[in-house]
Structure 1
Amino acid sequence: MPYSQPWMRQGQIALDNCVKHIAELKCMLQVRTDERDANLKLAQQTNELLQEVTRERTQLQTQMHEMQLEKESLQTEAHIARANAEKVTRELQEVTRVREQLTERLAATQTELKTAQIDAAGAKRALEAQSERFATMHATTMRAEAEKAAAEALTQRVEAERAAEVSAREATERAMEEERAANEAEAARAEEERKRRALCAVEVQDDTRELLEIEIAAARAAMMPSVGKGGKEAKPRPMRLDADGNVLTRFNDPEELLQYLEEGERGTKPLVTLLRASWLRAKMPETLPPDRSKLPAEAFISASELRKIYKQSKEKKRKLLPIITVLHPNSSPHAKGGPHPDAEGAIVQTVCEALDERWDQFTRKRGTGGDSGISELGVFFDWIAFGEGKSAAGAFGLFYAHELVTVWMIPEKKDALSKQFDYTGGWAAAEHRLATLLKSTSDLSGYSGPWPQLLDLSEDIDSEHNERIHRPSPSEPLAFRTRHEFGTAAYVEGEDEREVVTHMYRDALVEMFTCAQALTFNRLGWLDTDASRLALLLPLGSQVQELHLSFNSIGDQGLFLLAQRMTQMVQLKVLNLAGNQIGDPGASRLSGALTEATALQSSLFNLDLGQNNIGDKGALALAASVGGDTKMALRKLNLKGNPLSPAAKKGVTKALKKQAKGGAPAATGR
């Protein structure tokens, strides 16, 4: 057979190699073709980009040329105006010179006329010639008088223009003076309002006292049955606990917010819609419509997706809800039908810029420890979130006060020194107070969660200072009622709306304080007045185990008030007052509270008074109360950084050791 011949097999092998080489050449050709197509596409994109840049450059050059032409036109007009003014001046000078000449000539003519009259007996020809000369000179004089009148009219017109300019300048100065006066009046009014609010914040009115007595009795009844005001048994406040024994409320349980959103989608509650953060980043809308029905479906994020994202979060210490609430000066659920709260789009554009700048902080995609599990966020704009504001107003504050929600704030006013925010609208003021009440991540010591929960969008987006939000001391429960701290705040619908805000703030504040287990107010610059405002609410904290007020400016007077009300905190274990301005009087008053209050004796374990102004007198008073016959739970007392003598330090150590006998080892606070 011919196929069995060696030459035939060799030819087949050569043919197979040729086919193989042809296939490889085809592959190489295909690769080169793909590379050529990619390079052609890249070149086309580069040409298109170059053309776009060229068009923009041409437009800018055209604009610059037009501006240059306009500048040259204005310079030309100014030059012509100056030339006209100089010409008028020269003509006026010329007219004056001609007038003087004519005056001299008129005097000469009169002299000649007299001579002619004297020489009347002269020749008739000389008399006629003289008469003709006189007539010519008279005509010249008349013309000179006319030119003089025209010059005087021109002078009057110039003077009138100058007078009008002076009048306009004076009117401008008067307007500026009136504006300065109006600004001074507004500043004075704002200062009076600030003083009024500060006075209302310090004064405790009767209706506030009565409410606090009822709520404090209810908080105690939640722990054990007690007799309320008037001999009646106080109604206990129901409390829910999680698997770790922590108290759950509407404002710290993630399910409260997620279920509310889901029930709104099912129609059992008012629908609340949140915008998708990635849609805002992609579209960068100039503004948002006043009605959410005008937005596409892809602009919104569902409650089920938010729940899934929350469960996928990889944060171990503290998981925050993937929800951002925007607080702005025009915030209100009752604004439907009124002016658009963001007609110019400034709020939306600021939020979009912040989202774009801080996106990696949420997702941690680049260089921050790996994927956070957060792939999307829901953004709450009040005029988009609520379709019918009145039906959902009761839950409005939940989206600002919830401890796991992030709030981005745009202040109406901000004090340059204290950085305190101020809002004239009642809703915005209440939302600001609720948002800054218990979110401990907002103090100046930094945030402990995966991202800062409070952000100031009036600062530069890439600045760390907009993470340092000043938290005001808490206002009393009825602060938004008339004749109270925020009693003059503005509302769209008047007193009815004021009542809604009052109830919203009161209920939220009482529930949050009653169920809080830790209160953290470090590094906020608080003074004695701020401590007094907090002291008013401390008896509500029946569940509070830790109270942190370190590195503020609280002095003896503030500690007096805190110690007076702190005696009713039956579960307080940790009290941190380090880095304040407490002296011997304050330390002595605190030692008295420890001696008098059985609740503090049995609960307080750790007391930190380091870096204050406590001397030997205050330290020995504390040592006397701790080392007395009464058995106390106190095992840690920190007085480091105070001006103590060795004898005082020794006395404190001895008192702690005495108290620790038979119990846990003492931690001496020298």
Structure 2
Amino acid sequence: MQAHLRPSDGPGRFSNATTPHECRSSGKRGPRLQPGCGRAPGVHHGRAQRVQRWKIPTHVIYSQNARGLKTDSALTEAIDALRYRSGFSAGLQETWRTGLEEIEEDGFVFLGAAPAVQNGRGSKGVGILLSPLAVAAWRAAGAVVHNDVGPRVIAVRMEVEDSAGRKQGLFQVASYAPISTAPDTEKDEYETALACVLSRRQSGDIVIVCADTNASIGRGCLGGQNVNYGAVGSHGIDFLNDSGRRLRSFMELHDLAALSSFFKKPFYGTWLHPCSKLQKQLDHIMISRCDLKRFTDAGACCGQLIDSDHSAVFCKLRFTVRLRRKLEPRAQLARLDTAPLLNQDQAVQFATDVVMSLGTSDASAVSYSTLAKAVEKTAAETLPKRERPAPLWFAAKEGVLRAVIANRNATFNAHQRQPTADAAARYREARSRVQLEIRRAKSDWILGKCTAINDGICGATGSAAAWATVKVLKAGLAPPRRAPPAKMKKADGSLADTPEENASVFADAFSQLYGREASFDPSVLDDLPQRPVAVGLDHVPSDDEIQLATSKLHATAPGPSGLHARLWQALVSTSDGFGFVRHLVQHFWETEEDSMYADDAGLAFCSRRGVEVETPKVVAHFARWGMEIHVGKDGSNGEPRKDSKSEVLFCAAAPTSYNNPATYDGADLSDIKLPGGYFMPSVIASGAIAFIDAGWIVAYAAAGGVLKPRQEVPNVAFLSFNDLVLATRRSLWGLPIIALSYPWLTHGHPDPDGANLRRVAKALKALTSTGQRFGVFWDFLSLHQHPDPANDLMRTEAQNALFKQGLGCLGTLYSHQHTLVLRLPSFPEGYKKDLADDNNVSEYADRGWCATESAWSSLTKWSNKSLDLGRMKSNYRLFAYHNLIKECARGGGRRPPLLPPQFTEELEEKSFTNGKEDKPLVKELYEASFKEQFAEVTVLYYDWLLWGDAEAAQLAVIFANGFAPRLKKLNLDGNQIGDEGCKALAVALGKEGAAPRLEELDLSHNRIGDEGLKALANALGKGAAPRLEKLSLDFNNIGREGLEALAVLLKEGTVPLLKAAN
């Protein structure tokens, strides 16, 4: 029986679908179907089935010779064209790209195969462009790409559904044949590659070969063969050459057919011969001959996907793709029915199963994450899934309906086993009975609700019952469904397409509503009376308090983890299960750690001890209202108040224009307080520094723009202060501010040809791929410049004052631990130093400002916050942010921090354009930044920088002089530090006041041997780092002697908090 592709009937249908019969004129739409094709014997084909046949979605697959798809803009053009045409996928030939590629953009995926190196302009290369729908089908089939047979053939397999909801494979191939004058050996290689790929299709797959065949195959069959069984139909251009004969033989051998030759069209040409000016039909979509009747249309397109000398060809096929997303663990837990846990016996059994899953009854050895996983696993294994609610009308007559449905299914099975006339009649009768009972159930339900409404109106049951019934009746016959989220209107008037865009609109609206400057006097809060100290609460929570708090957990919102409140309530029903929860609560009370775990589980326990608490979530919440939260010391017991020492975290509005700071309303701005120091929005608000939207830079570079001085940059390019505040709230990794360090290419303009602009835009595109918004400091765009010094057009006095104010803040901007610095130490490719006299030929390291900016960024920043863009190589498409960090941060030539005297000594050898004024300023700024950053730093991550002994010794000098008194964690993982470097660190830590608060030292993945470890153990034994709790030495060259020295240290207990992990 012929299986037409159409959508599945879906759940909830009570009739068995039949395959409709359809006959078409062979001269217009497609081949005529054989009589009786697709009919089930003895089953009536009514009008309803014929109408539903046209509801099947039709998908279009395109093929075109691209004649060059080298650039990203050309690829974006192809994606836009496929989106505009609502295409399912496209096979592309002559892409002229290089290597194997998998590029994702806006939900579309491009898969390419091409030579490693193209000769000249390039001629080879094929690709397949998948729409989001095709991507889902491709991933459902395993996301396999067949690109290993050469640069002329590529294939993918996709998984869709046919008319009965069965899985159906689509095997799409893109191929580019050699030209007709190519040697036979090249043609043999191409046919071998194509045959190899075709052999990988699975049984039953629909083969679709999108090919530029470079051959004219004529029309009709050769040798009097029946047209219904040949490879070429009766339509097309009647011209046949040698390459066409060869292609016909290949198609006959592999049972393929040229699809467009079976559909009558006004024109067939796909390529115009440059000499004869005659149309040639070189581009074809070839399919398996047995699947010909599945396609509804094919031929040459009116127009192209992208600009080329070839026309595009298309084919239409009916099928459906189910976009079933894999449920997250939280969603899977939400489907579980926790009602059985209300039974005490089942709750006890659940708690027992959780404890058995843990394998231990020692609560102190189990963390929250381990306990949560055990609870989740036990719930998934023991609890049933909630049944999907049936329609109300079905539930009212469920007994009758279930019986007739069961009878219908039985008669259908009998008819399938023995398809006689009597069996078919019984099956038709059973189907009719089902439909009759469905109509009767719906009618009875509606009449019953109308009767209830009449009773309410007449006063028998009251108007409340009547209106409640109206609400039920208004909901309709279908089961209640959650309404789709409303699409918010964006600033440009268009509607949001994704939940993220919806959230962005909400965030902007709330920011405008609540982010304004407060109109009241904050000092009033200091005069408000505080609650008296509740002495009775200052104790470790008792068992009764924990039991009471657990019993009062709400079962409405399980939180991000998805663990329902009833799971925790069932867990505490046994003494062993309660012991684990009690340990979590008491551990949090004593240490105030793992608070986010308790929040994720839906357990809300507040700290009541007499200490200040500033958890990230609490601070972030109250930051939106310009407050900090303090708990306990003054007896406020968790009430928010404005402390006299607190800073307003986010406040006031930014100027509407960076180029016109007079529009600023003059509100008093305080500093944004973040871990690791302060950042000064007052400088931003005054207009001294303007931050550029990273997205604007990417778009400007893509349009071929060239940098202009700040005074000529449009206002749309700038981020306002409110924009920065909003981006900071959404940032998960610090301040969303980027500072660029690069050498000017000429004395008058930093980048006259836009070469560096395009390099920086490439990095910014990768960084913004996660959806994060960044403000970029680019000196030429962010500070006021001389508009045209050659014609004596200079900065105004006001602009000059702002320029100097901005220079004074550069130290904080580049050295702040939470800003990101992009270093561009190399010249752009093809840059010629002798191109013009105006060119600046000094290297990056020899320039005063560049060296200073690099030194600032080397102070306390984590290793992933100072990137060397000179190491950027890849074309970032997938995992762009992480790939950029991996290439540009690890081993990126970053130096260790320099002491101010060392920096001053090196600075004498650097060149400045205005040395008399800049050198003293730079020295002062560096010393201030050095002291500011190291005085407050608590965590230093210098990992995977490939530092050796010399760099470790330089770092040791800083610690030896006591410049990092608050340091708690030092991470030197992934470097090349040996014994000498470890000895230098040991000597430095042994100095008085070097690291009095150091708690964690990570020296893993280095080259430390026995001598280095013995020196470190000796220093620790003499009192160095007295608070050290964790020492990591994995993957070093440590032998027996070093381990013995460490064992003696642990045995003597001279470092009381340090314990052996292994």
Task: With the length of structure 1 as denominator, give the TM-score of the two structures.
Answer: 0.49
* Higher RCO (C-alpha 8 Å, min separation 6): 1
Bigger radius of gyration, 1 or 2?
Answer: 1
Task: With the length of structure 2 as denominator, give the TM-score of the two structures.
Answer: 0.32
Higher fraction of strand? 2
